[in-house]
Amino acid sequence: MPRPRNKEDLLTAAKENYSKLMDFIASMSEGEMTTPFDFSADASKKEAHWSRDKNVRDVLIHLYEWQKLLLKFVENNADKTDAKTAIAFLPSEYSWKTYGAMNVMFWNRNQTTPLEDAKKNLEKTHAELLALIEKYSNEELFTKKHFAWTGGTELGSYFVSTTSSHYDWALKKLKAHRKNCAK
């Protein structure tokens, strides 16, 4: 599915990719669920997340934490009309150059979170994001610079990145894990 460029496609992609992800998790065997992730034998998997996440819970927590960032970003800025007073998407101690460290912080912070709680947390933020998307018009979501606080990025792009695209990323990772388990 191409990257959503309007509200209808955004909602459809978010719902469909979430369902695909949750259906895939439901289809995982006990062995796939309990075997720690290990992508070290695949030289093409160089990005930090391939070694960071060790299980399904870690992947779900990653999605949940990024969705919380977006929910807070919109909450903090929805009434702002001036970019100078906007509160950044990332916490102040991180930047787009250091967000990898933020992902590790999320990982560390959630190591005692049970898998079932991770699923419930993600289900909650997913529903909150869908409801939030519904509040905005297509123009508000997909017009560059419509909101001063989104900078040059469309608000819809934030939603795409934290829902459908992120769900797709997670599904690819879980499929790669299944493939490793089958070896």
User: Would you place residue 96 in the very low, low, confident or very high pLDDT band (cuts 50, 70, 90)?
Assistant: very high
Burial class (CB in 10 A: 0-12, 13-18, 19+), 139: exposed
Q: Please give the Cα distance from 33 to 22 (Å, whole number).
A: 13
Q: Please give the Cα distance from 149 to 83 (Å, whole number).
A: 5
* pLDDT at residue number 71: 98
User: Would you place residue 183 in the very low, low, confident or very high pLDDT band (cuts 50, 70, 90)?
Assistant: confident
What rounded mean pLDDT belongs to the chain? 96
* pLDDT at residue number 100: 97
- pTM of the predicted model, to two decimals? 0.97
8 Å CB contact between 108 and 58? no
How large is the average pLDDT for residues 26-34?
96
Alpha-carbon 72 to chain mean position: 14
| Digit-coded pLDDT (tens) for 148-176 | 999 999 999 999 999 999 999 999 999 99
Q: At what angle do helices 155-162 and 115-135 cross, to 10 degrees?
A: 160
Cα distances (angstroms) measured from residue 162 to each of 33, 43, 49, 69, 127: 24, 27, 16, 9, 12
